[in-house]
């Protein structure tokens, strides 16, 4: 593994959630001031291809990257734009059985409110 890729991997591993390439680039630059945006994109692409990380494509948002490679969906927070992990096992099968058509892939676009914003709305009260 190259030093650049090791740095990018460390950044994604220490992040609690989902990072855009821009965010990864900004963090990588702190460690490797010479690193170029193209290098970050190239390494992210290779890591996605090898199954090391996941790329999340969301309409109206830049791509995000994360280390959780288990199949899961993302709800978008309508207030702060955060991505919330949601596991919906069997959704692909459900779509296929309900529609009667083979499902090759699908992209879910769900607007929601993330836990942090829910909490803020309630003024810190627990539900
Ligand atoms: Zn939010
Ligand atoms: Zn996720």
pLDDT at 92: 92
Q: How would you write the chain as a 3-class SS string? A: CCHHHHHHHHHHHHCCCCEEHHHHHHHHHHHCCCCCHHHHHHHHHHHHHCCCCEEECCCCCCCEEECCCCCCEEEEECCCCCEEEECCCCHHHHHHHHHCCCCCCCCCCEEECCHHHHHHHCCCCCC
pLDDT digits (tens, 9 = 90+) for 7-25: 999 999 999 889 999 999 9
pLDDT at 125: 59
Kindly give the distance from the C-alpha atom of residue 10 to the centroid of ligand 2, in angstroms, as a whole number. Answer: 17
Kindly give the distance from the C-alpha atom of residue 84 to the centroid of ligand 2, in angstroms, as a whole number. Answer: 7
pLDDT digits (tens, 9 = 90+) for 89-100: 999 999 999 999
Domains along the sequence of the chain with CATH: 3-66 (1.10.10.10), 73-121 (3.30.1490.190)
pLDDT digits (tens, 9 = 90+) for 67-113: 999 889 999 999 998 999 999 999 999 999 999 999 998 888 899 99
Query: Do residues 52 and 38 lie in contact, with contact meaning Cβ atoms separated by under 8 Å?
Result: no
pLDDT of 124 > 80? The answer is: no
pLDDT at 108: 85
Kindly give the distance from the C-alpha atom of residue 118 to the centroid of ligand 1, in angstroms, as a whole number. Answer: 7
pLDDT of 1 > 70? The answer is: yes
Kindly give the distance from the C-alpha atom of residue 2 to the centroid of ligand 2, in angstroms, as a whole number. Answer: 26
pLDDT of 126 > 70? The answer is: no
pLDDT of 123 > 80? The answer is: no
pLDDT digits (tens, 9 = 90+) for 18-55: 999 999 999 999 999 999 999 999 999 999 999 999 99
- Which ligand has the shortest distance to the CA of 114? 1
20 φ, ψ (degrees, to nearest 5): -85, 165
- Which ligand has the shortest distance to the CA of 76? 1
Residues 6+ apart with CB under 8 A from 107: 57, 59
């Amino acid at each position: 593994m190259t030093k650049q890729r090791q740095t990018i991997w460390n950044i994604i591993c220490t992040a609690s959630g989902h990072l855009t390439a821009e965010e990864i680039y900004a963090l990588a630059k702190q460690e490797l001031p010479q690193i170029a945006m193209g290098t970050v994109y190239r390494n992210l692409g290779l890591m996605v291809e090898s199954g090391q990380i996941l790329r999340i494509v969301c309409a109206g948002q830049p791509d995000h990257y994360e280390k959780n490679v288990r199949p899961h969906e993302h709800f978008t927070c309508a207030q702060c734009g955060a991505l919330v992990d949601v596991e919906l096992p069997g959704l692909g099968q459900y779509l296929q059985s309900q529609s009667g058509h083979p499902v090759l892939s699908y992209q879910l676009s769900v607007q929601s409110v993330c836990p942090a914003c829910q909490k803020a709305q309630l003024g810190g009260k627990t539900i």
